[in-house]
Chain A
Amino acid sequence: MANDGYLAIILNAHLPYIRHPELKTSVEESWLFEAVLDTYLPLLNLLEKLGKEGLSVTITLSVSPSLAEMLVDPLLNERFLIYTENKIKLTEKELERTKNNSEMFKLASMYLKETKASYSQYKDRYKRNILNPLKDMQRSGLIEIITTSATHAFLPLLNVVKGAVRGQIHFAVQSHKKHFGVKPEGMWLPECGYSEGMEYILEENGINYFFLDSHGLLFGDRKPKYGVYAPVKCRNGVSAFGRDAASAKAVWSNSEGYPADPVYRDFYQDIGYNLPIEYLKPYLYVEHERGNTGIKYFSKHAGGERNIYKPEAARKKVLEHSENFIYRRLKQMNEISRYMDRPPLIVCPYDAELFGHWWYEGISWLENVLRKAAKGNGIKLISPSEYLKRYPENQVIAPSFSSWGNKGYCEVWLEKRNDWIYRHLHRITERMCKLTVRYPNAAGVKKRALNQAAREILLAQSSDWAFMMKMGTDTAYAHRRIKEHIYNFNKLYFSIIADRIEETWLAAVEYKNNIFSDMDYKVYSNSTFQ
């Protein structure tokens, strides 16, 4: 056997659509900017570097349509530069403030260097478009880009209304083609949320594979011959890959995961929260609003003490942790191989923003893992598509309803703090389908209104709002957003029927909620609404 096994690393990059042209700046937009600066740019840098070195590296990257739309939005591109310029100025000021503390000064200098490099990478090298280098990397086989539902809607809870899942999948694939020039082979179901029958909508949209949490595959209608170490096929031929629990835990677990190590940088100790507001004021992205600056001087608390962050020590630890990860996968593969007649496949999906943003050292960890795997000491990195080419014959199983959320099903997105939203989400989708049947060939303003109504539906369906309500973070914003989209939809619905569309208002809403510029509302007509 050429390999002990295959390793498929899947990164899901997603942020909700948080573009606010009506405001000068917004806290929510800075979520995007932090992710670009801390995760996406360093990740691209890493992949480019590995590609240039000619290493045999493949990872799968899911770019959510809402994120892709924001990444090429001129307004947000411009604002990202302003945000980063502010950060550079603040870091320069930090050099002055920390000049008598050599350790902090060194850190500030490191941040300044990093931020300036990222700024130039974004502005000069990528000309503000970070989807272009991704396309190049896909062409060279370094990454396989897949998609997720249009606005990262959690699909099992929408699957009770016809048209809802279809709309999310259709617009995802359409947006993916627009941004990446080819159709996506795979789909990251948001939060691994699967419910019966979704594979048919995936098939309709040309999707060949998707992912399940371990129990979604293990608890299917038949015992899977290879456990989660090989994909299965749904009855319609769409393949499903199961997540490996052991490697998930190694990274994700709050207590045992690598990122919990006290040597690593503490995400929460940020000067944006720790220094006087007067000092920060000129550099804050949102006036008078404290926020993450990314300038952090401390490592995680160890025994209640705050220790200055030591990049050298962290670098050693990262090396140790990446070696441990590879060692444990190899050990796992050796054990599994004894029972298999083909090399095992270990599927490791992670949220992309974990790396670099929350876990500062995560990108270096990933780099070491990829380098070690690329050396071919028993592990071969593979994309799901490539695996399916090599092993097209797989067991047919009907997967089980499941997600990777707490307790494995829908409890995160359906509980007392967020259950009220579904009455509206379902109702507006039904109304959209009715409108589409009623106005199959609208033109002019009515067409624009119908298209905008479809955008408002997709934006309302984003699972992020339910998640924020559940977590109690940014709850007011989540409430406001979901109400805004339901309100806009209903207003459009009645004005379309009454044929009294206020065009000035419509233009304003189109300008504000401008996601999916090539929207075609007729997609909802395929869905009967009984």
Chain B
Amino acid sequence: MKRDFLEALSVEELCQVGRDLGIDIYSLIKKADLVELIFENLEPEEESNNLLINGEGLKYSPARCIAEESLESIEYPIPERYDETKIMLMLRDPDWAFAYWDIETSLTAGLKSDEKFSSLILRVYDNNDRSFYFDIKVQFSDMGWYIKLPRRNSSYIIELGYISGDRYTVLAESNTIYTPGGSLAAEKDLKWYSDTTERLIDLSQTGLLSPEKSEDVISQRIISFSSSSYIQHKE
């Protein structure tokens, strides 16, 4: 169980765990060896965790910790990206999506040294009809991309891949997103539809502030009471 869990981690994650355990990790270590090394260094019974630190911790009251550590002065370094090969797709509105991705460092290095490599590709599929797709060329330095989707009422999936020679290889596949129609449905609900429905829908749309025609702009959650804007201003 524990070994399985370690094996599912990325190399970057394993290195971090290794460093936390005080293991000296040399740069060319294989993943399997790293898992083995960490596995050997972990305490055998996890529930007895932190015995050493446990006792020590009791001497500290939170307030003392705060005073001693002065949390306000801490900087919070976070990774720019993660060492995993992965792509995610998010729907922004009925016509646009945002994709972001990561590629494992070792993979990037391999691709860069591949003489036949020509480019990284985002391949956007209409999920209802996989024969319909289009490609977007991206750079190694790119991390995310806004994509105009051709059809509403459809579903999309993106592959992150590359072209080497004349061969296309998939690196990762995204989650699926569904684009809404963003307009009134054509379908009438026979049980509920009546001759007044159209009129009520018209009335409901009187003064509709959103979507898409919201020039004068509606509510937004306020945040800064100290700064300039309560209601969102025009873009």
Q: Which residues of A contact B (CB under 8 A)?
A: 14, 16, 20-23, 27, 30-31, 34-35, 152, 156-157, 160, 190-191, 195-196, 213-215, 218-229, 242, 244-246, 248-249, 252-257, 267-268, 291-292, 332, 335-336, 339-340, 350-351, 353-354, 357-358, 395, 397, 400-402, 404-412, 414, 419-420, 422-424, 426-427, 434, 438-439, 442-446, 463-464, 467-468, 471, 473-474, 480, 483-484, 486-488, 490, 494-495, 497-508, 510-512
Contacts and interface: CB of A to CB of B under 8 A. Distances in A.
B189 A395 contact: yes
Contacts of B79: 490
A487 B94 CA distance: 33
14 contacts: A16-B223, A152-B221, A219-B180, A339-B203, A406-B217, A422-B100, A446-B47, A483-B77, A483-B78, A490-B79, A500-B53, A503-B50, A503-B57, A507-B65
B92 A414 contact: yes
A21 B46 contact: no
B209 A498 contact: no
Contact of B187 (A223, A358, A444): A223
Contacts of A248: 209, 218-219
Contact of A225 (B53, B78, B200): B200
Interface string B64-81: 011011111000111101
B225 A31 contact: yes
Nearest to B222: A353
Contact of B76 (A410, A487, A502): A487
B197 interface: yes
A340 B185 contact: no
Interface residues of B, number: 106
A141 B88 CA distance: 46
Contact of A464 (B218, B221, B231): B221
Contact of A223 (B38, B91, B184): B184
B26 interface: no
Contact of B21 (A195, A244, A426, A500): A500
Given A227-B202, A400-B181, A410-B91, 8 more contacts: A219-B180, A222-B189, A407-B212, A463-B221, A467-B223, A473-B229, A507-B57, A511-B66
Contact of A245 (B82, B183, B204): B204
B224 A213 contact: no
B8 interface: yes
B199 to A, nearest CB: 5
A400 B182 contact: yes
A502 B235 CA distance: 47
A35 B222 CA distance: 11
A249 B209 contact: yes
A214 B20 contact: no
